[in-house]
Amino acid sequence: MTVLDAVRNLGESIQEDERFLRYAKAKLANDKDAELQELIGKFNMVRMNLDEVMTAETRDEAKVQELNEELRRVYTDIMSKDSMVEYNSSKADLDSLLNDVNSVIMQCVDGADPKTVEPQTHSCSGSCDSCGGCH
């Protein structure tokens, strides 16, 4: 078996994992949610209008503030939809799985025993002053 064969097997295993299945279901639900898609379209239009106003030769600060407020409102509407909450939650779980997979692979590349290596957990204090690098 080649490394690429092993990676393909890993890909199959990931796609069979409940975290991937939950994510795929949530993604599909968002894609089919007409109200959510309308809100996303509105968000993009407001953002484009805001960009246009921000880069105009004479900047209308009142219009900038109005568009910023509308952008925040639409964003809040998007992020509070049940389908988006589920999507974000399922994506975070899938990202955690992928971080664990990457951690094991990187440790093996550094010489760890592939049969016994465990994913490294990282804790971040939020301060970069004493950090040795992002995980």
Residue 121 has what pLDDT? 76
Q: State pLDDT tens for residues 13-35.
A: 999 999 999 999 999 999 999 99
Alpha helices for 1-135 (secondary structure H): 3-16, 18-32, 34-54, 61-80, 82-109
Give CA–CA dist 52/71, Å, rounded.
14
Residue 128 has what pLDDT? 64
Position 9 pLDDT exceeds 70: yes
- Confidence bin at 97 (pLDDT 50/70/90): very high
Burial annotation 73-105 (CB, 10 A radius, 16+ → b, else e)? ebeeebeeeebbebbeebeebbeebeeeeebbe
pTM strictly above 0.85: no
Residue 85 has what pLDDT? 96
Position 2 pLDDT exceeds 90: yes
**Mean pLDDT taken over the chain:** 91
Q: Is the CB of residue 25 less than 8 Å from the CB of residue 35?
A: no
Q: Pick left, alpha or beta for residue 126 (phi over 0 → left; psi -120 to 50 → alpha; otherwise beta).
A: left
Position 124 pLDDT exceeds 90: no
Q: Which two tokens stand for residue 69?
A: 């407020």
Residue 129 has what pLDDT? 61
Give CA–CA dist 90/85, Å, rounded.
9
